[in-house]
Amino acid sequence: MSEPIVQEVIIAGMSKTVANYDYAMSELESLVEANNMHAALRIDQGLEKPNPATYFGKGKVVEIKEMAEANELNIMVINADLTPSQVRNLETETGLQIIDRTGLILEIFGNRARSKEAKLQVKIAQLQYQLPRLRTSISNRLDQQAGAAAGGGGGFTNRGAGETQLELNRRTIQDRISHAKHELKELNKDEEVRRAQRDKAGLPNVALVGYTNAGKSTTMNGLVKLFGKGEDKQVFEKDMLFATLDTSIRQLTFPDNKQLLLSDTVGFVSDLPHNLINAFRSTLSEAASADLLIQVIDYADPHYKEMMDTTEKTLKEIGVTDVPMLYAYNKADLTEASYPSQQDDQLIYAARDEKSLQVLTKMIKDKVFKDYVKTTLLIPFSDGDVVAYLNDHANILKTDYLADGTQLEVELNAVDAQRYEKYVVTPA
């Protein structure tokens, strides 16, 4: 299969309206690359506030048009969310296709969605984004976006005949949003059943969260390789933003038979569109229901503290506020820091280093298994199936064969401790 053609684009922003502007523009460039584009030209403006009609000042708009023509570029990506009229006016005056920040992220999500759930989540966000733009944008790209969203396609590329903006009236869009939400609700019911079954099993749930491309999937794959079942598949990982949008869940079983569920959630980015956060709320619910969060941080990125702030802000926005958290500073192998290095709930590590993963594992176990019960059980020989179960699912500290049964000194989770309470040996 041939490589897709990379589009050359202009990236642009307004320096005095954004904190950490250079970082924001660097992130925009990374997002552009994630969307199979290349930032061939960067344009900055230092106005105190945007022009309500064209976002940029009149002189800058003329300059943009001239520079675009001189460099034969026809797309501009802007590091801001524009009003529909700003998009229309800029497109009219420059002749460029205009993509704002939200539109860009929606394109990336549309192209990356693989599962039915992710496709529906993105489709809802796309349609909600398109709704106020039906009569204002003249961009061919937004026409394609509308057609893809209406037809159920993953991205904004023109897949099939599509529909023009004129055909996509507000009522049609709203009906499609309602239909997609209904489909998603039905899928969520199935997921709620699966989650209830996992909760019934009494296994702790640990969720990996953090900025996109911080190394969550690499960390998960390393832990699955060490402690997963033989048939467990590795999750997709690649050095790019939003490599995957689907939450993956794997069961880990440690040598002492302690078990937990590990989930890898969709990554965050600064100013993640609100519609996307709402659409992905069910996917992110794995984080909300977790017993422990591991925030994976790209320690090699000079802006990692800003990335941590973004993660904390997004978690708060989806209602995750009281879940214990470990801070895992990844990619230490790309820095001068020694690793693995642990201090309290913080770990400097490298996700591809087994020693690092062993230290992270101990930190996880110290948190999620701290309430395990140590007890002594005397199990009659007639209940050999109980002994077999405990040998497979509990941490057996000592086994003695007595005249009236098998005596086990065992470490149990709360569910099993209650289940086998009748076998507990009362101290003399």
- 264 marked as binding residue: yes
- 211 marked as binding residue: yes
Cβ(262)–Cβ(250) below 8 Å: yes
Single-letter residue type at 417: A
- 333 marked as binding residue: yes
How many angstroms separate the most distant Cα atoms in the chain?
A: 95
- 196 marked as binding residue: no
Long-range CB pairs of 379-383 (<8 Å, 24+ gap) are 379/405, 379/406, 379/407, 379/408, 379/420, 379/423, 380/404, 380/405, 381/405, 381/406, 383/423
- 243 marked as binding residue: yes
Question: Measured between alpha carbons, how far apart are the two ends of the chain, in Å?
Answer: 73
Residue that the structure tokens 């794995």 belong to:
286
Q: How far apart are CA 306 and CA 157, in angstroms?
A: 33
- 212 marked as binding residue: yes
- 2 marked as binding residue: no
Residue that the structure tokens 């569920």 belong to:
261
- 79 marked as binding residue: no
Cβ(84)–Cβ(17) below 8 Å: no
- 155 marked as binding residue: no
- 210 marked as binding residue: yes
- 329 marked as binding residue: no
- 54 marked as binding residue: no
- 136 marked as binding residue: no
- 217 marked as binding residue: yes
- 245 marked as binding residue: yes
- 118 marked as binding residue: no
CB contact set of 176 (below 8 Å; sequence gap of 6+)? 123, 127, 149, 150
- 244 marked as binding residue: yes
- 366 marked as binding residue: no
- 332 marked as binding residue: yes
Exposed/middle/buried for 374, CB within 10 Å: 0-12, 13-18, 19+?
exposed
List residues forming the annotated binding site for GTP. Answer: 210-217, 242-246, 264-267, 330-333
- Which residues are known binding-site members for Mg(2+)? 217, 244
Which residues participate in the annotated binding site?
Answer: 210-217, 242-246, 264-267, 330-333
